[in-house]
Amino acid sequence: MGLIVQKFGGSSVADTDKLKKVSEKIINEKKSGNDIVVVVSAQGKTTDRLISEEREVTDNPSKREHDVLVSTGEQITIAKLAMMLHDFGYKAVSLTGWQIPIITNSEFGNSRIRYIHNETILDLLASDNIVIVAGFQGVDENYNITTFGRGGSDTTAVALATSLKAERCDIYTDVDGIFTVDPRIVKNAKKINNICYEEMLEMASLGAKVLHNRCVEIAQKYNVPIYVKSTFEKDSIGTKVSNQKPLEDLVINGVAKDDNISRITIVGLENKIGKTYELFKLLSDNNINIDIIVQAFGETSMKNITFTVKMTDLNRTLKILNKNKDKLNAKEILHAENLSKVSIVGVGIANKPGVAADMFEALYEKNINMHMITTSEIKISVLVNIEDANIAVNAIHEKFFK
């Protein structure tokens, strides 16, 4: 009998009834004789609520204190889940990141795991406990609380599976695996039974919010198989993510959508070495995540840079940019709101020049305007108006998976 790591996300633990369903999944696995380590996220919208409370206090939170604040969400879940398992008659003990401890570097809000002490967990397992771990958090060498950034509970789960040499890591979510497209948007979305780490990484980075990228990277590095399963369906088989490549490549593996994007263009940035760095350093220091970046040269002494940020970061970003407009020698700062990024991904794209044309045709047929296009070897992304996004995803999926 082996060791299984199970991870349950925020929607799987959102309320008491759902915690009960989660407990059943855990107990089933325990009954089959395995040792169980469970990783959980904060319940439902808890993290969002904490962040909106934080915004009430300050626009510019200390990164250390931010981690002290948001790490409480997972701590609440582990306590409740342990209590519930006791009620079902099982031994269970909760552990926060610092209690294990999971030692990280000191990059607050986006810290990296250095090592995990296995002893506490192994001792608890040896005395027949189910171990419930708070996802997304660790502690640095000076006893500061650190977090891994949004979705970091996946990272915790896979890192624990690696460190504890688990047989496998089961990531439970509210859908029954990984699909060619979000099944809530497209009716005839197709479930993928097997996907390799590389393709999964592309899908994840494009807004298919099933697995956190960093967890896939760790799983790939240490070759831990991940199973993505449904919390709420009985006998969910789900999707296996492993180093196994599909025998026959599909042209594209899936269609992904990322909502609430805004586009910012800096017109007339001085074309001088270091200016681009200065711009993105400024944004990164202010904890603003940039997604796509496109640069187009204008006049010889100036350039335009366009990039995207989340809608929630737009006002803050514009405020910072306008405050530093002179320092950056920027002429003008433009922006467009309420956009969605729609992408296709697949290793076949590079070798099939018709793919981009097919994608654009699908959008043209629905009369959908594209506000930005970026392409790489294995993906094509376009920005569309948010109200067109679902139509776009359906049209593209229909084109490639009919």
Q: Which residues bind a second copy (CB under 8 A)?
A: 16, 19, 50, 53-54, 56-58, 60-62, 64-66, 68-69, 71-72, 75-76, 78-80, 82-84, 86-87, 93-94, 96, 98-99, 120, 143-145
For 191-196, the CB contacts below 8 A with 24+ separation are: 191/239, 192/239, 192/253, 192/254, 193/237, 193/239, 193/240, 194/239, 194/240, 194/242, 194/244, 194/246, 195/239, 195/240, 195/241, 195/246, 195/253, 196/241, 196/242, 196/243, 196/244, 196/245, 196/246
Q: Which is nearer to a second copy, 75 or 106 (CB)?
A: 75
Calculate the alpha carbon distances from 58 to 148, 224, 248, 312, 359 in Å: 21, 41, 52, 15, 43
H/E stretch holding 295 reads: strand 290-297
CA distance 269 to 278: 11
In sequence order, what are the beta bridge partners of 335?
Answer: 264
Q: Which is nearer to a second copy, 42 or 226 (CB)?
A: 42
Instruction: Kindly give, in sequence order, each residue whose CB lies less than 8 Å from that of residue 8, ignoring residues fewer than 6 positions away.
Output: 22, 25, 38, 39, 40, 41, 172, 231
Q: Which is nearer to a second copy, 60 or 300 (CB)?
A: 60
Q: Which is nearer to a second copy, 98 or 179 (CB)?
A: 98
Kindly state the smallest distance separating residue 142's Cβ from a second copy, in Å: 9
Q: Which is nearer to a second copy, 142 or 300 (CB)?
A: 142
Q: Which is nearer to a second copy, 65 or 259 (CB)?
A: 65
Kindly state the smallest distance separating residue 61's Cβ from a second copy, in Å: 5
CA distance 7 to 26: 10
What's the burial of 401, exposed, middle or buried (CB within 10 Å: 0-12/13-18/19+)? middle
Among 238, 218, 185, CA closest to 115: 218
Backbone angles phi, psi at 55, to 5 degrees: -60, -30
Q: Which is nearer to a second copy, 80 or 316 (CB)?
A: 80
Kindly state the smallest distance separating residue 144's Cβ from a second copy, in Å: 8
Helix axes 389-401, 354-365, angle to 10 degrees: 130
Kindly state the smallest distance separating residue 10's Cβ from a second copy, in Å: 15
Kindly state the smallest distance separating residue 174's Cβ from a second copy, in Å: 21
What's the burial of 317, exposed, middle or buried (CB within 10 Å: 0-12/13-18/19+)? buried
The dihedral formed by the CA atoms of 60, 65, 69 and 70, expressed in degrees to the nearest 10: 70
Q: Which is nearer to a second copy, 120 or 385 (CB)?
A: 120
Kindly state the smallest distance separating residue 27's Cβ from a second copy, in Å: 15
Kindly state the smallest distance separating residue 19's Cβ from a second copy, in Å: 7
Kindly state the smallest distance separating residue 270's Cβ from a second copy, in Å: 32
CA distance 34 to 41: 22
Q: Which is nearer to a second copy, 115 or 364 (CB)?
A: 115
Kindly state the smallest distance separating residue 72's Cβ from a second copy, in Å: 4
